[in-house]
């Protein structure tokens, strides 16, 4: 009986009867805040909830498309003066937005790639350090085994030489 069941099966000292009946419950799944037993399937989403979810996603997508179209249509004739390592006059705002969007996505991709490479370099260095430590441990173990062998041989010689 585990500790939880022991607490649940506490007895009254006068009547020596269990105060609370112990009920064996299956272990609960860890994480996610669920109270499902381990191995139990996730509850299925009802068709109505799936339909609502799909329509909400459709509405959100359509809203984003409409906003993008409005921005493009309202700014198609607007121009701006831009400095980007040189002065550019009368640049179309739609092209400016498009170039900025593409360059920010490419920049984000590049930054993530750099961090990934740095993380991989750290992992390689860590693995190399572990490899060197393991080699050092093996060398020390071999050296210790050699010393033990010499000591054992000296003990054997001393035992056999004594009359």
Query: Rounded to two decimals, what is the model's pTM?
Result: 0.47
Q: Can you tell me the distance from the alpha carbon of 155 to that of 42, in angstroms, rounded to the nearest whole number? A: 69
Instruction: Decide if 5 contacts 24 (C-beta within 8 A).
Output: yes
Taking residues 90-104, report their average pLDDT. 91
Taking residues 1-13, report their average pLDDT. 48
Closest by Cα among 132, 72, 134, 60 to 97: 72
Instruction: Decide if 137 contacts 129 (C-beta within 8 A).
Output: no
Give the domain ranges of the chain. Answer: 1-43, 93-163
Asked whether the predicted pLDDT for residue 36 surpasses 70, the reply is no
According to DSSP, residue 46 is labeled: P
Instruction: Decide if 58 contacts 65 (C-beta within 8 A).
Output: no
Q: Can you tell me the distance from the alpha carbon of 15 to that of 34, in angstroms, rounded to the nearest whole number? A: 38
Instruction: Read off the pLDDT of residues 126-156 as tens digits, 9 standing for 90 and up.
Output: 999 999 999 999 999 999 999 999 999 999 9
Asked whether the predicted pLDDT for residue 46 surpasses 90, the reply is no
What pLDDT, on the 0 to 100 scale, is given for residue 28?
Answer: 61
What pLDDT, on the 0 to 100 scale, is given for residue 37?
Answer: 64
Say which residue, 91 or 121, is predicted with more confidence.
121
What pLDDT, on the 0 to 100 scale, is given for residue 11?
Answer: 47
What pLDDT, on the 0 to 100 scale, is given for residue 8?
Answer: 47
Sign of the torsion angle spanned by Cα atoms 22, 24, 25, 30 = positive
Q: In the predicted model, what is the mean pLDDT of the chain?
A: 82
What pLDDT, on the 0 to 100 scale, is given for residue 40?
Answer: 65
25-40 in b/e burial notation, b at 16+ Cβ within 10 A?
Answer: eeeeeeeeeeeeeeee
Rounded (5°) CA angle 95-99-100: 115
Contacts of 79 (CB under 8 A, 6+ apart): 90, 91, 92, 93
Q: Can you tell me the distance from the alpha carbon of 95 to that of 80, in angstroms, rounded to the nearest whole number? A: 10
SS3 122: helix
Q: Can you tell me the distance from the alpha carbon of 45 to that of 51, in angstroms, rounded to the nearest whole number? A: 10
């Amino acid at each position: 009986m585990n500790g939880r069941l022991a607490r649940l099966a506490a007895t009254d000292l006068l009547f020596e009867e269990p105060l609370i009946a112990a009920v064996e419950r299956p272990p609960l799944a860890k994480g996610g805040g669920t109270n499902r037993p381990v191995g139990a399937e996730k509850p299925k989403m009802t068709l109505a909830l799936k339909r609502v979810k799909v329509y909400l996603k459709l509405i959100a997508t359509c809203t984003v498309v409409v906003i993008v179209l409005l921005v493009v249509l309202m700014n198609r004739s607007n121009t701006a003066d831009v400095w980007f390592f040189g002065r550019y006059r009368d640049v179309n705002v739609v092209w400016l937005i498009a170039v900025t969007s593409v360059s920010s996505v490419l920049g984000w991709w590049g930054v993530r790639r750099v961090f990934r490479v740095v993380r991989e370099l750290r992992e390689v260095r860590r693995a190399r350090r572990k490899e060197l430590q393991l080699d050092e441990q093996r060398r020390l173990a071999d050296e210790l085994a050699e010393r033990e062998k010499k000591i054992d041989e000296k003990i054997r010689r001393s035992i056999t030489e004594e009359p």
